[in-house]
Amino acid sequence: MPRPSSDDPRITLDAQPGPDLFEAIPPYPTRTEREAEFYTLGDGEMFLNVGPQHPATHGVLRLVLKLSGEQVVDVDPVIGYLHRGVEKICENSDYYHVIDQVDPLEYLSSLFQEWAAVLAFEKLMDVQVPRRAEYIRVLTAELLRVSSHTLYMGFLALDLGGITPILYSFIERDEIVEMLAAVTGARMLFNYYRIGGVNGDLNHEFMSRLGDWMSRAAKQTEANATLLNENEIFVRRARGIGVLDRETALRMGVTGGNLRASGVAFDLRRAHPYSVYPELQFNVPTREEGDSLARYLIRVDEVRESIRIIDQCLHNMPDGPIMAKLPRLLRPRPGRAWAAVEGPRGMMGVYAISDGSDQPFRFRIHDPSLLNLETVPHLLPGNLLADTMAIVSSLDPVLGGIDK
């Protein structure tokens, strides 16, 4: 590490403590016009650095807030603290290994990344997936959606200062990941979907845990949601905060629950159906308000719909193989494929190009959290510091996916 020169403004910190210390320290030198504008303080303004280590940031998001009193004037979200180069790693691993590389992207909903990758590869190789495998995929993925949404509700409450709902959420999530662990072998990074099917059939432990959970899931979800829905303080803090209107949402490429909370009934499961979703009956809940409360309520509704889907999956589950017949070494024909699934946070997409070798030539991951998070600079200014958490948390970003 080079020794800092004495004219670097950052090292005057311990040289002379005094009023100089209160001056802002910009990235040195400022790289863009926007950065120069942002790091010029107006009258009575100050910077507040929230993150990457802060009790309320999700993962390692860093928000540099320009505050005037308690009011947020401007915000500069800084991402990239969790960058691991997953796309490049995927391009250097063969098609089977890609699946466990994409697992830790959005670590709360790993099956959806696997699904997107597997779906893209199946398109690339023209594989017909057995119907039982498709049903198993839908079943496990919807379970994980419930888990992710439940955790979202808890964390939203935690960021608003309520400490109890998060533990109720974790109880639900724990039951779900335990039952998924029974069938996949892992609690978090499942590595379960395979090109052409799934790895391992449903077993007795999974079914018994699932039956146990389903017997009270709907009731328990309602009870957990009631903790917040009917809490006057929570509703007042979330209502009318961070309103994302329909046009902005569409222009910014927002997907998932955040888009549906702005009144656009766009759900990939209905808009571009994949797997066996056309055979299943469920609604796409939408809301018109586009504020934090709407984004929260959309999740509550989606949990209800997911429980409906799980119920239908259990009733319609066909017998049969769970894997298509595939060669050991996969060498798809040169070509390109795009596949996207509706994850808990929105459109989880994968764009894969094959050059005929056993490794993808290009593996591009489209993560919904990134586009959702990009609306933060539009939503925050004008709100109070406390609303920062209500807004960012309600967008449900997962930094593992954003930083890739």
Partner 1 sequence: MSFATRTWTRMSIPARLLAIFVPLAVVLAIATVLVIVVLGGPFVDFLSANLPLVRFLVAATAVLLMTVPTAFVIIYLELKVIARMNLRIGPNRVGPWGIAMSLIHGFKVLSKEDFAPTGADLPVFTLAPVVTYMASVMSLLVIPFAPGLFGQDFNIGLLFFFAMGGMTVVGLLMAGWSSFNKYSLLGGLRSAAQIVSYEIPLTLSAVGVVILAGTMSMNHIVLAQSGSALDWFVVKQPLAALIFFIAAAAEANRTPFDMTEADSELVAGFATEYSGMRFGFFFFAEYVNVFIVSALIATLFFGGWTAPFNWPWPYNLNWLDFSNGTLWIGIAVIGSIIVTDVLAVLVRLFGGRGWNMPSAMILGFIFASFIVAGVVGLAGFIAFDWVQGLFWFMAKTYAFVFVFVWMRGTLPRVRVDQLMGFAWKWLLPASLLNLFVTAAAVVLLSR
Contacts with partner 1 by CB under 8 A lie at: 13-14, 17, 21, 46-48, 54-56, 70, 157-164, 167-168, 171, 231, 233-234, 236-237, 384-389
Token readout for 90 is 């995927």
What's the closest the beta carbon of residue 159 comes to partner 1, in angstroms? 5
What's the closest the beta carbon of residue 33 comes to partner 1, in angstroms? 26
What's the closest the beta carbon of residue 50 comes to partner 1, in angstroms? 8
Contacts of 313-317 spanning 24+ positions with Cβ under 8 A: 313/135, 313/138, 313/139, 313/142, 313/280, 314/139, 314/210, 314/214, 316/135, 316/279, 316/280, 317/132, 317/135, 317/136, 317/139, 317/202
- 264, amino acid identity: V
Q: Report the residue number, 170 or 338, with the smaller CB distance to partner 1.
A: 170
Q: Report the residue number, 241 or 303, with the smaller CB distance to partner 1.
A: 241
Residue-by-residue DSSP string for 295-359: HHHHHHHHHHHHHHHHHHHHHH---S-SB----SS--PPSEEEEEEEEETTEEEEEEEEE-SSSS
What's the closest the beta carbon of residue 382 comes to partner 1, in angstroms? 12
Q: Report the residue number, 58 or 194, with the smaller CB distance to partner 1.
A: 58
Q: Report the residue number, 103 or 175, with the smaller CB distance to partner 1.
A: 175
Distance CA 309, CA 23 (A): 56
Distance CA 29, CA 156 (A): 36
What's the closest the beta carbon of residue 26 comes to partner 1, in angstroms? 16
Q: Report the residue number, 194 or 299, with the smaller CB distance to partner 1.
A: 299
Distance CA 229, CA 222 (A): 10
Q: Report the residue number, 194 or 237, with the smaller CB distance to partner 1.
A: 237
What's the closest the beta carbon of residue 237 comes to partner 1, in angstroms? 6
